[in-house]
Structure 1
Amino acid sequence: MKIIRSRNFTAARPWGALDIANMRGITTRLHWTNEPYRWHVNDGEEVFVVLDGQVEMRYREAGVEQSAILETGDIFYASVGTEHVAHPIGEARILVVETEGSV
């Protein structure tokens, strides 16, 4: 049993993570960041939940770059093959559920 106060979580570096659970190869991790990630495609599906802060999520559909501002409580679902990059606006805490070892 764990209780995690996500608003209190910080990491030593951007995109540092706290491993919460690994359920048969699907990981749940809490990330803290104040810097963008990098363009990437995950090895499988990804659920990206903004727990605190704001994130500009950039993604490509049919080769065209799109953008959406995600607020606290918003969820971004990246299906297989979705190229995307997260740009926090200030500090953000993000819950990510994805296949273990995914980018």
Structure 2
Amino acid sequence: MSSEPIPLGRALASFDALWSPRIVTRVNDYDVRVAKVEGGHIWHVHDDTDEFFLVLDGELHISLREPDGERTVLLPQGSVFTVPRGTEHRPYAPAGAAILMFEPTGTPTVGDRHDEIPDHVDATTGHALDT
């Protein structure tokens, strides 16, 4: 990890792949990841950890399957939201977005239980940032 400040704009400009997060830094045993997203991810769940989202640019929608039904949370630029552990969810960005996520190191982007993974979704635990 870098011992210098990392401009998030420069970090996001260093890659083009969608739904393929880059690890910007680590905090204790957590990754701070940035990603460019557009279109839909997959329905998935993280059994043992919450998932934190911060929208840096654009707008992110997160559909949630909860005990009392399905709902969608809309996150405009500058908004944060935490998906509770064990909640099935599906992020999507109809017009594209840049997001920051905070989750335990080694957490797979497709969760612990998920649908079939389409080609446009990178099943990863995060990629090193090349700046």
Per-residue deviation, 1:17: 2.0
Which SS does the other structure have where 2:39 is aligned?
coil
Which SS does the other structure have where 1:16 is aligned?
coil
Which one-letter code corresponds to 1:77 in the other structure? T
Structure 1 vs Structure 2 CA RMSD: 1.9
Which SS does the other structure have where 1:9 is aligned?
helix
2:96 equivalent among 76, 81, 91: 91
Which one-letter code corresponds to 2:97 in the other structure? A
Report the TM-score when normalising by structure 1: 0.86
1:51 match = 56
Per-residue deviation, 1:8: 7.2
Number of residues of Structure 1 aligned to a counterpart in Structure 2: 103
1:27 equivalent among 10, 24, 31: 31
1:10-41 CA distance string (max 9 Å, x none): 53321122211122321100111112111111
Q: Gaps spanning 5+ residues in structure 2: where?
A: 109-131
Q: Gaps spanning 5+ residues in structure 1: where?
A: none
1:12 match = 16
What is the percent sequence identity of the aligned residues?
Answer: 28
In structure 1, how many angstroms separate the alpha carbons of the residues matched to 2:68 and 2:41?
19
